[in-house]
Amino acid sequence: MKPIINHFTDNDLYTFTCMYYILQKYPRAETEYCFFDRHQTRYPAGFDHLLREQLAHMAEVTITDEECAFMTRTFPFLPYWYINVFLRGYRFNPSELTISQDPEGHLDIRVKGKWWSTIMWEMPILSTISELMHTLNGDTLRYDAETEYEKSLQKGRRIWQGGLTLGDMGTRRRFSFDHQERVIDALIQSYAEVKEATHGQCGRFTGTSNVYFAMKKGLPCLGTMSHQCISFEEIVSGVFECNYNVMSKWSEVYDGNVGIFLYDCFGDHVFFSNLSKRMAMTFSGLRIDSGVEEEQVDLIVAKYKQLGIDPMTKQAVFSNGLDIDRAIEIHRYCQGKITDSYGVGTYLTCDVTDCKPMNIVVKLVRGRITESREWHPCVKLSCDKGKTLGDSQKCSYLLSVLGQ
């Protein structure tokens, strides 16, 4: 079977921003990630062998001159040496992977090694599993490119006519690489059409989180950070201080750039309880990835006002499994309260006729600051119980400590 991932930058921007953060703050840290399938999918017999074969190919995927030039030109907050020396020398290491399949068909996938290295595997694992599964299910044989392109065009028109500021964040659970490209093309075309028809009185296309497609299509690239930075920091500085310390360390690394903070790793209460004005001013906004969006907006607006900050000068980025109707509903609620934008993934890149999208993630489950230190479980609590992941005893303990 031909390789599914063929481009080094066929990955989300936050992978690279987090990797550079790790190199600066925790260069000796070691981590272990685990694959979670929220649908408890029973994969076909031999799927683990096919997946192992696909991911072994990643050792041959290296960054190109074109990719280096694009990243150097587009991401001035990432230093020249990181892109043109470190990433040029980076090689995916399949020995960091352990992949198995039980008799019922459930997958067990673990990634273990230096944090700056293992972080690169999340997106290739997820996008490969998704595309491979849709291929084996026969979904790709039933796929009609023209029909799906027209469907994406119609979605795009509704997005821009609805006034949404929106970008693609659909790499990890996409139907396929080719389909994600068609979706992006449809968003570009529909945006141009609606913008012309409304004389610019419409929403705004903010681009894609996928670095390769941003380069290929000449689009802005979206992304800042992920939950794993806070999840790891909890084992260093504790649940009550981890958000503040990541904000402080992130701002030291990026000096006010890439400033959307993902605040819900341990729920909203522990974050808002020690959000300082300095940190609120340093970061341009917050990403809402769990909870009831309207309730989260009210909490954010109230906190900014308490700190003496005009919420309309800040951004709320919504990314919690949204479809267009829900995004438009939230957009209307935000009017006059806060500046809103949207990152939509699976609904754009895997809403294919007669196809069931997967619900899969790769999450950090253990970490240690250096190779000589003891391992500690890393967990994520979120504002949604369904998104709580990690060691059950630690999750229960932290929930009791937080009074949740």
Q: Give 136-194 pLDDT, tens digit per residue.
A: 999 999 999 999 999 999 999 999 999 999 999 999 999 999 999 999 999 999 999 99
pLDDT at 385: 67
Q: Give 246-268 pLDDT, tens digit per residue.
A: 999 999 999 999 999 999 999 99
Higher confidence at residue 387 or residue 248?
Answer: 248
Q: Provide CB contacts within 8 A for 6, sequence distance 6+.
A: 61
- Candidates 342, 310, 340, 336; CA nearest to 323 is 342
- Is residue 231 pLDDT above 90, yes or no? yes
Topology of the domain comprising 227-349: TIM Barrel (3.20.20)
- Is residue 86 pLDDT above 70, yes or no? yes
Walk across the sheet containing 339-344 and list its strands.
204-208, 165-168, 339-344, 315-318, 285-288, 260-262
- Is residue 199 pLDDT above 80, yes or no? yes
Decide if 368 contacts 375 (C-beta within 8 A). yes
Walk across the sheet containing 30-37 and list its strands.
97-101, 107-114, 30-37, 360-368, 376-377
Q: Give 28-46 pLDDT, tens digit per residue.
A: 999 999 999 999 999 999 9
Pairing of strands 107-114, 97-101: antiparallel
- Pull the structure tokens for residue 249: 């360390």
Residue 391: half-sphere exposure toward Cβ, Cα within 13 Å: 16
* Average pLDDT estimate for 5-32: 98
* Average pLDDT estimate for 218-246: 96
Where in the chain are the domains?
A: 13-141+362-373, 144-217, 227-349
pLDDT range class, residue 373, cuts 50, 70, 90:
very high
Q: Provide CB contacts within 8 A for 7, sequence distance 6+.
A: 61, 67, 212
Q: How many CB atoms lie within 10 A of CB 122?
A: 24
- DSSP letter for each residue of 13-51: HHHHHHHHHHHHH-TT-EEEEEEEETT---PPTTHHHHH
pLDDT at 384: 73
- Is residue 386 pLDDT above 90, yes or no? no
Decide if 254 contacts 260 (C-beta within 8 A). no
pLDDT range class, residue 382, cuts 50, 70, 90:
confident
CA distances from 291 to 127, 240, 312, 370 (A): 26, 20, 21, 34
When mean pLDDT is compared across 117-126, 193-202, 281-290, 385-394, the lowest value belongs to 385-394
Burial class (CB in 10 A: 0-12, 13-18, 19+), 163: middle
Using DSSP, state whether 396 is helix, strand or coil. Answer: helix
For a pLDDT cut of 90, what percent of the chain falls above it?
A: 96
pLDDT at 387: 72
- Pull the structure tokens for residue 322: 């949204």
